[in-house]
Amino acid sequence: MNSRGAAIRCASLPPLTGTPPMSSLQLRLCSVVGTALVFITSLWANQEIFTHSEFVRGVNWIYLPAGIRLLSTLLLGADGALGLLFASWLVDFFYFFPNDPVRSFVGGIIATVAPYAVYRLAREVYGLDASLSNLTAGRLMMLTVAYALAGPLLHNIWFYLQGDTEHIVARFFAMFIGDLAGTMIVIYTLKALLHFLPVPRAPNR
């Protein structure tokens, strides 16, 4: 669900004693900051777990942050996209490409536009609601493939316009496989974890 859905759910819960309810602005700020922190954590985990999966600098055969990007926009909409943009700029400017500010700036935008465009597509085509109740497994798989294609395509169009055409087909293929594999790992890991959560019981009358 996005921030509007979360705000409705939070508003329906009784506040803790002495704790004022969270405002809409505070909720959105938490969504942005939380998304950025989760994305950076997933990037660190990807670097630690899949150390030898890097095709070239910034391109991995398995890329877990891709899954976080898609889920963040599906769940939080524009707030998730904003958190992803800040996090992408942070890691690009200070870690991946500190000597290439143009690539860092544009790369952060492209990395954010791709999942957000898929989210908007889902809203238009599937009528995706705030609770994601009509997001079936088949639709989620379609969105996963669409995102795995959109990100590499936009990046490689940018590389082509900059004259960086060396191994461009292989780089596109590596990015597509990495984003697809990373997204599926994140999605199905979360799905498996949900089975361990207790099922809420209906209150007795």
And the tokens for 192? 């498996």
DSSP annotation string for 136-199 = -HHHHHHHHHHHHHHHHHHHHHHHHHTT--TTHHHHHHHHHHHHHHHHHHHHHHHHHHHTTSPP
What count of other Cβ atoms lies within 10 Å of the Cβ of residue 156?
19
Range of the domain at 128: 25-194
pLDDT surpassing 60 at residue 183:
yes
The model's pLDDT over 17-65, given as tens digits with 9 standing for 90+, comes to 445 566 788 899 999 999 999 999 999 999 888 877 777 666 788 899 9
In a domain, 20, yes or no: no
pLDDT for res 45: 92
Whether residue 38 lies inside any domain: the answer is: yes
Among 13-27, 61-75, 188-202, which stretch is predicted with the lowest mean pLDDT? Answer: 13-27
| Assigned domain for 18 exists | no
Res 162 pLDDT > 50: yes
CATH of the domain at 173: 1.10.1760
For residue 159, tell me if it sits in a domain.
Answer: yes
Report if residue 106 sits inside a domain. Answer: yes
Residue 126 falls inside a structural domain: yes
For the chain, the average pLDDT equals: 84
Count of residues making up the chain: 205
Structural domains of the chain, count: 1
Question: How far apart are alpha carbons 23 and 31 in whole angstroms?
Answer: 12
pLDDT at 52: 72
Give the predicted TM-score (pTM) of the model: 0.79
Asked if the structure places residue 13 within a domain, the reply is no
Considering the domain boundaries, does residue 46 fall inside one?
A: yes
